[in-house]
Structure 1
Amino acid sequence: MIIESSGKLDKLRDVFAKIRPGENWKVMPSLGHIRDLPASGNNEGELTTGVRNDLTPVYELTDKGAKIVSSLKEAVAKASEVYLATDPDREGESIAWHIQQAVGIRNPVRVKFPEITASAVDNALKSPLRIDMKLVAAQEARRVADRVIGYLVSSELRRQTGEALSAGRVQSVALYLVVLREREIRAFRSTLHYGAQLNFAGAKMTDAWCVEWMTAEGFTTDEQPYFMDRAFARLVADVPVVQVTGFEDSTRTKNPPAPFETVTLQQAASNSLGWDSAHTMKVAQALFDNGHITYHRTDNPNISEESMPAIKAVAASLGLATVAKRRVFATSEGAQEGHPATTPTHWDVVEAGTTPDEQVLYRMIRIRAIASQLMPAEYAVRTVLMKAVDPVQGKQVLFRGKGETLISEGWLKLLQGDATSDDDEQDSANPIPVLQLGQIVSVESGEVLEKKTRSPKRYTEASLVGALKANGIGRPATYAAIMGNIKSRQYVREVKRFFHAEPLGEQVIDRMEGKFTFLQVNYTRELEKDLDLIATGQTQYKPVLQSLVSTLQSELGQQAESIATYRKPVITHPCPDCKTNDLRLIKGANGPFWACKGYPACNGTFPDAGGKPGQRKVAVVSEHKCVKCDRPLRHNVKKGKTGYNFWGCSGFREGCKATYPNLKGDKPDFDNVKGG
């Protein structure tokens, strides 16, 4: 039997001793891939390295693979039958085919087991298969697509810039998402807006409750979603008496999260343990190799029906109730539902693994899987609607309050929260008393709620993997490599787990954006679907790749025509202020700008205009006077993603730092002056 990982050897030998006593089995590992496309060289008749013009791939043994194949040939020559037991996914199918081709095995038996247990291996041996060439073709198409895009576009980037930049079919799309988010954050301008909350006393301090002003009811619109009149909000907060217009008691249930699939396992390990995807998969691989968990590369979040009796038995021993019928979770489009979720292989085993990391990940996998079949948590929900007895400046003002109380823990007794998401759901107590329709209630106190819109959050590795999955990009076995690539190439950097786009990463995207179709999320998603169709025999290898290559060659041709020279020319921009030094581009916190290299002797700065110094905005002195020093104010305006609009004192260089927000009608807001 030929397997992939040497970590499985001891476990499989124990399994064979149990299920095939007396039989002379030899188990050998391939240690992963033994053949691949050449790393370098481009021979005549090849579209790119390792891919012929007719799109046929050219494989060669790796250095490691040559030694493996030699030992496998020797062992196979002595065997009466050869079983290929590489991993039960497309990549494993491809490795099995490469082994057959390189070793020269006639009629090998293909077996797949989703877990390394005696029953799973025995069932696989009793249900022999043949290599599925449709799966092999799908994996081959993926590898060739990656090579064609990666090599041809990377070569073009290097010709254009003279720098060692690289592109990748999925890697570049992941980077594009990070860069797009970076742009959104730079362009974001916080909006200050207001609400109001009314507080009511209870019999005890812990019985205090509140309602919040419903600004959406007559005070905001889709075009203007924020209420920005603080003075009116203060009047609302001062409402002395309100009347009950609606009151409802209800319940809601909250179901547990699904058992882990590859993406959610990586997300949970990132959020709970601070692990990156590569480390998570390495630890999970060790657990799988030693027979502790089912296969960890899966996009199916459901357990098998056969697991339910074992789950019910474990839950009963813990005093927990399970659902009567197996809870089924929605699968993503294109999921390979033949591979179940990642779960323990022996549900009654509480601890497993030889290292602390293996043990903590095993506990997470086991508890999550058990919790998935427990009863839902149940909450009592109380909602009240109220209105001000007297209108505020002639306008009716409405309020709403909601409170929740946990009345049945269900799965929460075992699993306190879902670590898949960066943001956990917050439940609010707010002990609203029983109220009657029409009842008049006196307000204890009121407060103005000052709120600010928040910029989009940067991606963490966990949320970026989630975004790729949500967009149908990549597959379970690829996410760890994608994250590793964009980090190792210094296209992004991690700051407190959040991805920041590096200048080099932005340069790569700037060079490709609008010029290469493969960078588009929709295109990559459709290509993934085509690869899935190859795996099911609904389309063929050649048409899919011919379409991709045709589009790519056309776009590369357009790039060659539009670029007079492939090497980036050296362009200097003399400083208009000192006329001695050149300007340099600086990546500032609020976007790029140009500054004189002669700083501090010359402090000339200029806005960036598409990679060149732009015209400095001249601030016009107005009739408005600074309340701090009585000098004239200047209206400072810059449009665009990194723009601004405020009033500043013309005595800035003399030491007055006063600034004023701009009001409608282009007037300074003297009530909110800052600095001085």
Structure 2
Amino acid sequence: PSVKRVTFHEITKPAIDAAMASPRKIARDLVDAQQARSILDYLVGFNLSPFLWKKIRYGLSAGRVQSVALRLICERENDIEAFIPQEYWTIEAQLANSAKTTFAAKLHSCDGKKLGKFALGSQPQADEVMSALQNAAFEVSKLEKKERKRNPAPPFTTSTLQQEASRKLGFSARKTMSTAQKLYEGIDIGDGSHGLITYMRTDSVALSEQATTEARDVISQTYGKEFALSKPRVFRSKSKNAQEAHEAIRPTSIARSPEQIKSFLTSDQFRLYQLIWKRAVASQMAQAIFDATSIDIAAGERYSFRASGQVIRFPGFMALYIEGNDTGDDENKEGLLPPLNQGDALNCQQLTPEQHFTQPPPRFTEASLVKTLEEYGIGRPSTYASIMATLVTRKYVRLEKRTFFPEDTGRVVAKLLVDHFSQYVDYDFTADLEEDLDAISRGEKTWIPAVKQFWDPFITLLQKKDKEVSKADITTEKTDKICPECGKELVIKLGRSGRFLACSGFPDCRHTEPLNGDGEATEEPVMSDEKCEKCGAGMLIKTGRYGKFLACSAYPDCKNIQPLEKPKSLDIECPQCKEGEMMEKKSRYGKIFYSCNRYPKCKYALWNPPKKEACPKCAWPITEIKTTKRWGTVQRCPQEECDWENVLIPPVKKPAAKKAPAKKKTAAKKPAAKKTTAKKTTKKDA
């Protein structure tokens, strides 16, 4: 019998009816490409993984894309460890116009030349400029106003959905895809089951005519006609190996707003649907328009400061949605500037030199790793979630605060692959292989020669390395340390729990020492005055990954562990369970928090100190005290749905510098200096 295929990218009755009415033949090229991809993955995994079992330990795995992702994470960690911070200084002036409206400006140029980031590389250099500016007159030398326009981001692809759900919702890639799958397959919204979004495995940023028409109607009705476009905005994919067989990820009916179906969705489903809906609608909204102002201020004869600000004249798509970013920077942090004209004299109220240090490259988050893999053209976005999950499951990496840290085993595996199979974990090679697979899907190449071209040199190299590389070469590292028991050399070995020091005289000498993260021996445990409440043995003070803790000296017979610093009682009843008591505790990262002592039965917790005083608005039994530089100290209700707060201590404003009275000129005295405040920080300059 003749076999045909029907394709659709949304599970709705009209889409399925249309697909059934237009069946097509099986696309042999697409079948061949999928078959080649599957075979290549099997060839790499089924042959390279057993090699790792023999050379490192059983249970490890390697993969065509997985190993490249691991290399990215490990090389980033190497860059961070090798990074040497470089000092630099900036100088900021607090200036006021004739109406005494203040604004900030930063030192920008000297003798007409723009100052580079490291122009002031030390405090003496900054002090020299500060001295030169003490009696300088400040005057507006140039004022420039421009109109800036900003376009919305395109509707979601698989990759951008994973990135944005990570940034905005805190979802892992796996959680994003599983939640999207449920929205795609269909949910009962009162009148039967409906597929709520289009297919979520796509590289396309295109929207159908029906979708753009619906979006225009929704925008006009909700925001006004000035926010809608006269004709649809068309996007083009920027992905290196985009496969645009499907539409972008969008709601199957844009007229179906998130609020209309909220009661039928779980919290995660609603949040993801809302994100997809907003992104799709915003992509068809008008540009945002800004009035941007840049002001150059002459300071004396040699120096110039610059202040920038921008104001949203027309919000456009930003009234609905603003794309997130990986740095956390606020693109619109530039604020208002007071009315100024060229030639206006300004009063310098304060000069502030500030020390900075360059920061190492950031570790990968799920969002930034997905973005990097896609930019390199490595793998398919639909597989990224499972790849990252495998890296964590294999304990090659760990996720802390949504950031990837390579484990010892992962770094050893990555080094082995880079040292001995560099071609197969090379970024360009992997991307080129992906391009070959795409060429097969387009009918430009045949799959068997492509697979053979990969397989023959790969298996030859693998057989060669199997003979050349020993387990000791990979898992043992020499040191200059001496065994305290037998005098032989200590070596670093890799165990199931990571690296440790061991005597090279094993098995005659079985001396071992734990290592900290820097490859140094950890401190020896010290006996404390505490007794184990479970068995009565003494408690040892030990050092772990997250600092010092108490552990029973009878281990492994007794595995009791306790924090070194005991939780402090606050004499406040837990407002949630009304049985426990609020305690001050420290997280494993050293941050103080406040939680119920009945944990895990009661999981009520706060980051801010609780106060034994009920909220006057909602009557919640406690309030909390929060202190920030921007808002000062406020007492507020900890309940998210309640907005009550009371300012206890207002924020401290920087005092304006007072001018010193004029003094008679003498040879020994210098003119009065403006007030300066030196700040030192290791944080990255904003």
Indicate how the Cα distance of structure 1 residues 433 and 239 shifts in structure 2: closer, same or farther if over 3 A, else same.
farther
Any idea what the Cα deviations from partners look like across 1:465-489, whole Å, max 9, x if unmatched?
1111111111132111111111111
How far did 1:252 drift?
0.7
Pick closer, same or farther for the CA change 1:429–1:512 going to 2, 3 Å.
Answer: closer
Contact 1:220 1:227 in 2 (8 A): no
**Aligned counterpart for 1:507 among listed residues 406, 412, 430:** 412
Residues 500 and 444 from structure 1, CA distance in 2 versus in 1: closer, same or farther, beyond 3 angstroms? Answer: same
1:259–1:343 contact (8 Å) kept in structure 2 = yes
Q: 1:284: Cα distance to partner?
A: 0.7
Structure 2 residue 242 is matched with structure 1 residue 335: yes
Tell me, which stretches of 5 or more residues in structure 1 are unaligned? 1-105, 391-395, 602-671
Matched, 1:185 2:185: no
Q: Within the alignment, does 1:349 sit opposite 2:256 as a pair?
A: yes
In structure 2, what is the equivalent of residue 314 of structure 1? Answer: 218
* Equivalent-residue separation in structure 2 for 1:567 and 1:355 (angstroms): 52
| Contact 1:200 1:209 survives alignment (8 Å) | yes
Distance 1:300 1:293 in 2: 14
Aligned counterparts of 2:480 and 2:81: Cα–Cα separation in 1: 27
> Cα gap change, 1:315/1:127 in structure 2, threshold over 3 Å: closer, same or farther?
same
Instruction: Give the percent of matched residue pairs that are identical in Structure 1 and Structure 2.
Output: 30
Aligned to 1:15: none
* TM-score using structure 1 length: 0.67
Whether the 8 Å contact between 1:194 and 1:233 is mirrored in structure 2 is no
Q: Residues of 2 paired with 1:365 and 1:473: CA distance?
A: 25
Measure, in 2, the Cα distance between the counterparts of 1:271 and 1:596: 36
Shift of 1:219: 7.6
Question: For structure 1, which segment, 586-595 or 316-325, has the greater mean C-alpha deviation from structure 2 after superposition?
Answer: 586-595
1:8-56, Cα deviation, whole Å (9 max, x unpaired): xxxxxxxxxxxxxxxxxxxxxxxxxxxxxxxxxxxxxxxxxxxxxxxxx
CA 282–593 in structure 1, closer or farther in 2 if over 3 Å, else same: closer
| CA separation of 1:379 and 1:239: change in aligned 2, threshold 3 A | farther
* Counterpart residue identity of residue 365, structure 1: I
C-alpha distance 565-231 of structure 1, shift in aligned 2 (>3 A): closer
Within 5 A, what are the aligned runs for 1:109-128?
109-128=4-23
Q: Which residue of 2 aligns with 1:33?
A: none
- Residue of structure 2 in register with 1:293 after alignment: 197
Shift of 1:573: 6.5
For residue 387 of structure 1, the aligned residue among 289, 292, 298 is: 298
Matched, 1:148 2:55: no
Change (3 A) 1:162 1:360: closer
State the match for 2:107 in structure 1: 213
1:426 matched residue in structure 2: 331
Does structure 1 retain, via aligned residues, the 8 Å contact 2:10–2:198?
Answer: yes
Please say if 1:496 is aligned against 2:496: no
Name the one with the larger helix percent: 1
Q: 1:323, 1:564 → 2: CA distance?
A: 65
Could you list the per-position Cα deviations for residues 136-194 of structure 1 after superposition, in whole angstroms to 9, with x for gaps in the alignment? 11111111111111121112222222443221000011111110111111112222210
C-alpha root-mean-square deviation of aligned residues, in Å? 2.9
The change in CA–CA distance for 1:470 and 1:202 in structure 2 (over 3 A counts) is: same
Query: What amino acid sits opposite 2:396 in the alignment?
Result: Y
Map 1:541-620 → 2, pairs under 5 A: 541-563=447-469, 575-576=481-482, 578=484, 580=486, 583=490, 585=492, 592-595=518-521
1:373 aligns with 2:269: no
352, 355, 363: which is aligned to 2:274?
363
Q: How far, CA to CA, are the matches of 1:249 and 1:540 in structure 2?
A: 58
Q: Distance in 2 between matches of 1:474 and 1:171?
A: 9
Counterpart of 1:121 in 2: which secondary structure?
A: helix
Give the structure-2-normalised TM-score.
0.66
Counterpart pick for 1:486 among 376, 391, 403: 391
With 471-480 and 171-180 compared, the bigger mean Cα shift is at: 471-480
Corresponding residue for 1:445? 350
Using the TM superposition, give the Cα deviation of residue 505 of structure 1 relative to its aligned residue in structure 2, in angstroms. 0.5
Deviation sequence 1:481-501 (CA, Å, 0-9, x none): 111111111111011111100
1:401 aligns with 2:297: no
Counterpart code for 2:223: G
* Contact 1:208-1:431 within 8 A present in 2 as well: no
What is the identity, as a one-letter code, of the residue corresponding to 1:550?
Answer: D
Measure, in 2, the Cα distance between the counterparts of 1:480 and 1:181.
20
* AA aligned opposite 2:401: K
Of the candidates 144, 162, 168, which is equivalent to residue 248 of structure 1?
144
Q: Deviations over 1:624-676 (max 9, x none)?
A: xxxxxxxxxxxxxxxxxxxxxxxxxxxxxxxxxxxxxxxxxxxxxxxx9xxxx
Per-residue deviation, residues 362-383 of structure 1 (Å, max 9, x unmatched): 1111111101111111111111
Q: Is the 8 A contact 1:158 1:164 kept in 2?
A: yes
Deviation for aligned residue 1:387: 2.6
2:154 corresponds in structure 1 to: 258
C-alpha displacement of 1:218: 4.7
Q: More strand by proportion, 1 or 2?
A: 2
Deviates more, 1:558-567 or 1:486-495: 558-567
Aligned 8 A contact 1:465 1:479 in 2: yes
Partner of 1:326: 232
1: distance between equivalents of 2:398 and 2:52? 21
d(CA) in 1 for partners of 2:152, 2:329? 13
* Shift of residue 559, structure 1, vs aligned partner: 1.4
Aligned pair in 2 of structure 1 residues 221, 444: CA closer, same or farther (>3 Å)?
closer
- C-alpha distance in 2 between matches for 1:196 and 1:574: 47
**Conserved in 2, the CA contact under 8 Å of 1:197 and 1:446?**
yes
Q: Which residue of 2 aligns with 1:276?
A: 172
CA distance in 2, matches of 1:198, 1:598: 52
For residues 424 and 480 of structure 1, the distance between their equivalents in structure 2, rounded to whole angstroms, comes to 26
Contact 1:461 1:498 (8 Å CA) reproduced: yes
- SS of structure 1 residue aligned to 2:138: strand
1:234 corresponds to which letter in structure 2?
M
Secondary structure at the aligned position of 1:193 is classed as: strand
Q: Distance in 2 between matches of 1:219 and 1:344?
A: 49
Paired letter, 2:412: Q
What secondary structure sits across from 1:328 in the alignment?
Answer: coil
- For residues 511-569 of structure 1, the C-alpha deviation after alignment (integer angstroms, 9 at most, x for no partner) is 11132111011111111111000000011102221221133123224413423678978
| AA in 2 matched with 1:258 | P
Q: Which letter does structure 2 place at the counterpart of 1:271?
A: R
Q: Does the 8 Å CA contact 1:111/1:128 hold for their aligned counterparts? A: yes
Residues 49-128 of structure 1 mapped to structure 2, 5 A cutoff: 106-128=1-23
User: What is aligned with 1:13?
Assistant: none
CA contact (8 A) 1:239 1:443 kept: no
Task: Measure the CA separation in 2 of the matches of 1:221 and 1:525.
Answer: 37
Alpha carbons 2:45, 2:63 under 8 Å: kept: yes
In structure 2, the CA distance between the partners of 1:574 and 1:202, relative to structure 1 (3 Å rule), is closer
Secondary structure at 1:443 match in 2: strand
Q: Is the 8 A contact 1:194 1:449 kept in 2?
A: yes
CA distance in 1, matches of 2:471, 2:315: 68
Aligned partners of 2:202 and 2:245 also within 8 Å: no
Q: Which amino acid aligns with 1:208?
A: T
Distance 1:470 1:289 in 2: 29
Distance 2:451 2:165 in 1: 36
CA contact 2:98–2:346 (8 Å) conserved in 1: no
